[in-house]
Amino acid sequence: MPTPSDTPNRGGIIHTYQKYDPAKFPSPSEPPPDLVSPVFEHMLQFGSMRQFSEEELANAIKLDPGQFAGLGPSLDQLIKMLEERKQQILAKYETDSVAKKAAKQYANAAQGARPAGKMKKSFERAIRDEQIYQLEHLWYQAERNNPRFASQLLRLMETLGEKYQIDHLASAYEFIGRESMTIPQAIEILEELQKIDELLKQLEDAKENAQLAIIDLDELSEFADAEAIENMANFQKQVQQYLKDMMEGQGLVDQQGAVQLSPKAYKLFQGKLLERIFSNLEASRSGRHKGPVEGEGAVETQQTKPYEFGDSVAQMDIPQTMINAMLRQGHERPIRLRQDDIEIHKTRNNPKCATVVLMDMSGSMRYDGQYVNVKRMALALNGLISGEYPGDFLRFLEVATFAKVVPQGDLISLMPKIPTVTNPVVRLRADMSNEDVSEMHVPPHFTNIQHGLQMARQFLATQDTPNRQVILITDGLPTAHFEDHLLYMLYPPDPQTEQATMREGMLCKREDITINIFLLPSWSQSHEDVQFAHRLAESTGGRVFFTAGSDLDRYVVWDYVNNRREILQ
């Protein structure tokens, strides 16, 4: 039987139905559905947490209806009831007569209209084409000069709209009855059938993944008895409570409809990112070290060994040591330790690595959503280092007209700057030593890599390790730089800015800081962008990586892990 969704609509009122393609659904024995990822993906794209509607939450989460006893039969009963009501309507009425009535009403209204001479030809074409937008155009022309004709056009558009709906009713549904309808009655029946179709789709979706929140109980109450509605409302409460419990279990706190992210949620999402990044690597290249470098190190392992002369008692396994002494002494008390009772945790040499990540957040990063990939990379790298290399130093800086430190908790809400200057050629200078000039007065969307490198160098200068690097993620040439207290913003990119950035790169080299650049694709990227990236990276012994934005997190994390393995070896 044809439905409104698979029959082309001629025009008039357009109804949009929610489309959802269900995937594989978890069984009750499998882990609970992932609630964290949809929330974080929203944050990555929009940078803030607005209130989620019940429908949005239901669309984002896949549930197994089998977890709720009796839900399936209840949904089947409602679906059967709605389908029976739909068949009753189709078996009772016919549409040929009402279609003729609508066409005649439209023709009479057209004959009653009296257009002015210069509008007559356009009016006749609009009537022939049966296009409302053409009649609207005529109405705007006649509104002031010919109010009577404008009023006739309004009536004509109303009758044409009704004709659209009658035509849609006749083409979308297969009526087999004999009773004729009036035009108002036919429009009411169309609305009722569309409600039934929408409710049927909601119920079918609910059968697949328990999306009860999107079922409109108010509309359903027009067709179902009070007991069935109450039963479905109780199921909705069960699902909502189930979601609330899962959200709390995954670190998502629901406070008056606003989803808050806890540290637990961050760890879960970072773990999923790293699992995805390392999932395609071979076992020998899993991103973990090939073998532990054991010795007097800073990181304890779970393995233990008997105490040997020279071992530090700071790594003593106290529970195992006490058990050894008790087994040796039996019931003798007090317990007296001997050297052969002592168990020592093996340790792993873990040389410190210091990294500053410069994330381009200028106006150009809005294109193709590149900023989303940059933030996803930052979360993955932060999760890797905090989980596996807790002794390493890591800082994040956003780079726009100014470079600024980004606390790890603010990475998810970072957004690219909105351009405030649209001139094709920009030559601006700001004296930042002037008390009357602040960042609020300066366009925020330029790219000041020089300032970012300067701040990164200052952070890394305090780190007592030879393994220091800057990871620069950008899509092209810099467009801003400082000369003492003067800030220059130059677009198209100017050699003066490139020279200032290269000077800062040479200062990094002098302090043995390596610059690795991940160059993202951009619609405006040129050969000059690529050459600049090579010059800046090679001047410090670094490298340039060309990567699609969606693979950025994988490239950065793999490179970091490989670099750490080389340091350990």
Every domain of the chain and the residues it spans: 90-191, 304-345, 354-567
Segment 456-469, tens digit of pLDDT: 999 998 888 888 89
Measured at the alpha carbon of residue 318, what is the angle toward residues 315 and 323, in degrees to the nearest 5? 140
Residue 441 near residue 430, CB atoms below 8 Å = yes
Q: What is the pLDDT of residue 214?
A: 63
CB atoms within 10 A of CB 70: 11
Residues 6+ apart with CB under 8 A from 350: 297, 298, 299, 389, 391, 568
Q: What is the pLDDT of residue 456?
A: 94
State the distance between the two ends of the chain, measured CA to CA, in whole angstroms: 69
**E-strand spans in 92-186?**
none
Q: What is the pLDDT of residue 306?
A: 87
Kindly list the distances between the CA atom of residue 113 and the CA atoms of 110, 151, 349, 558, in Å, as whole numbers in the listed order.
Answer: 5, 9, 91, 73
Residues 6+ apart with CB under 8 A from 310: none
DSSP letters for 304-369: EEE--TT--GGGB-HHHHHHHHHHHHTT-SS----GGG-EEEEEE-----EEEEEEE-SGGGGGGG
Q: Which tokens hold the place of 192?
A: 């009722």
Q: Is it true that the peptide bond before 334 is cis, omega within 30 degrees of 0?
A: yes
Q: What is the pLDDT of residue 256?
A: 53
Question: What CA–CA distance (Å, rounded) separates 151 from 448?
Answer: 60
Residue 44 near residue 365, CB atoms below 8 Å = no
Question: What CA–CA distance (Å, rounded) separates 468 from 463?
Answer: 8
Q: Mean pLDDT, 10 residues at a time, over the chain (569 residues)?
A: 46 34 40 57 58 53 58 77 89 92 89 80 84 84 81 87 90 91 92 89 75 70 77 71 61 53 54 51 37 44 76 81 88 86 73 85 85 83 78 90 90 87 92 90 94 94 86 90 95 94 94 87 78 87 73 63 55
Residues 6+ apart with CB under 8 A from 46: none
Q: What is the pLDDT of residue 180?
A: 92
**Domain 354-567: assigned CATH number:** 3.40.50.410
Regarding pTM above 0.75, the answer is no
Q: What is the pLDDT of residue 93?
A: 93
Q: What is the pLDDT of residue 52?
A: 52
